[in-house]
Amino acid sequence: MQFTLTELWASMGLFARLIVLVMAGMSLASLVIAVERMFAFRQSNAQSRAFAEKMAALLASGSLKDALASEVKPGEAGHLGRVIHAGLVALKTTSLNDREMAVDSVARALERQGQRELQALKRGLNTIATVGSTAPFVGLLGTVMGIVNSFQLMAASGSGGLGTVSAGIAEALVTTAFGLLVAIPAVMLYNYLQGWVDARAVDISESSNEFLDLVARTAGRQ
């Protein structure tokens, strides 16, 4: 037997093949989710920057009237725009003459929408994390079964030569290697995507606080 991928696949038992197919599916799922998240993050980031530039121009005078009068499409405002838009909606339904009520209402709206946006950004990341943490164990399961097959072949042949157990050992090592090949990229992708989400959480918090400060300064005077 030559230790090529084709030969190894042909020599694998049904259980080992199922393990490899399961890990292939796990790898494909993590890659698809990662690509979708990267595209969504890039689009949301671009929309948020455009919204921030537009809103900064409206709030340059320190007045909320222009911002309240502006039209914001949540679907085109990015994660940051949707958070500030929630604050603007809350402010529209609250009297600016009552400073305390206005600040409290806007603060709650910003916090609620901020949590929603972070959860939306994290969508699918749990699946990638699960693949990264479980793939080595799935590969280890195939390794254990490969070793079991080796002992079964050894018992059936009545000898313990390397040729008798080489197929089972190769099968075991292949499933282990495959598990690591699936897990390592998944962990790297998860860390990268989670780091991006954490950075956006800081952006949302800072922007919400700046908007809330403006509301606190303005309410009661307009």
Q: How confident is the model at residue 4, as a pLDDT?
A: 65
So what's the pLDDT on residue 74? 67
Total number of domains constituting the chain: 1
Q: How far apart are CA 186 and CA 179, in angstroms?
A: 11
pTM of the model: 0.82
Q: What are 133-182's pLDDT values in tens digits?
A: 999 999 888 888 878 777 776 777 666 556 556 666 777 788 888 899 99
Which pLDDT belongs to residue 188?
A: 95
pLDDT at residue 50, rounded to an integer: 86
Q: What is the reported pLDDT for 146?
A: 77
What is the rounded distance in angstroms from the CA atom of residue 177 to the CA atom of residue 146?
Answer: 13
Segments forming the whole domain that contains residue 90: 5-218
The dihedral built from the CA positions of residue 49, 81, 58 and 203, taken in this order, carries a sign that is: negative
Q: Report residue 20: phi and psi, to 5°.
A: -65, -40
Q: Give the Cα separation of 129 and 74 in Å (integer).
A: 29
Predicted confidence band of residue 202 (pLDDT cuts 50, 70, 90): very high
| Residue 177 Cα to chain centre, angstroms | 25
Query: Cα-atom radius of gyration of the chain, to the nearest Å?
Result: 28
d(CA 12, CA 9): 5
Question: Percentage of residues in the chain with pLDDT exceeding 70?
Answer: 79
- Picking from 1, 22, 7, the residue whose alpha carbon sits closest to that of residue 182 is 22
Token representation of residue 190: 């998860």
pLDDT band at 25 (very low <50, low <70, confident <90, very high): very high
Instruction: Note the pLDDT tens digit of each residue in 27-49.
Output: 999 999 999 999 999 999 998 88
What is the pLDDT averaged over residues 174-195? Answer: 92
Higher pLDDT among residues 23 and 74, named by residue:
23
When pLDDT is cut at 50, 70 and 90, the band that residue 95 belongs to is low
Q: Which two tokens stand for residue 39?
A: 């595209």
> Which range (4-8, 51-55, 126-130) has the least confidence?
4-8
- What does the mean pLDDT of the chain come to? 82
Percent of the chain past pLDDT 90, that is, above it, reads 34
Question: What's the 3-state SS for the chain?
Answer: CCCCHHHHHHHCCHHHHHHHHHHHHHHHHHHHHHHHHHHHHHHHHHHHHHHHHHHHHHCCCCCCHHHHHCCCCHHHCHHHHHHHHHHHHHHHCCCCCCHHHHHHHHHHHHHHHHHHHHHHHCCCHHHHHHHHHHHHHHHHHHHHHHHHHHHHHHHHHCCCCHHHHHHHHHHHHHHHHHHHHHHHHHHHHHHHHHHHHHHHHHHHHHHHHHHHHHHHHHCCCC
147 close to 169: Cβ distance less than 8 angstroms = yes
CA-CA distance, 91 to 109, in Å (whole number)? 9
199/189 Cα distance (integer angstroms): 16
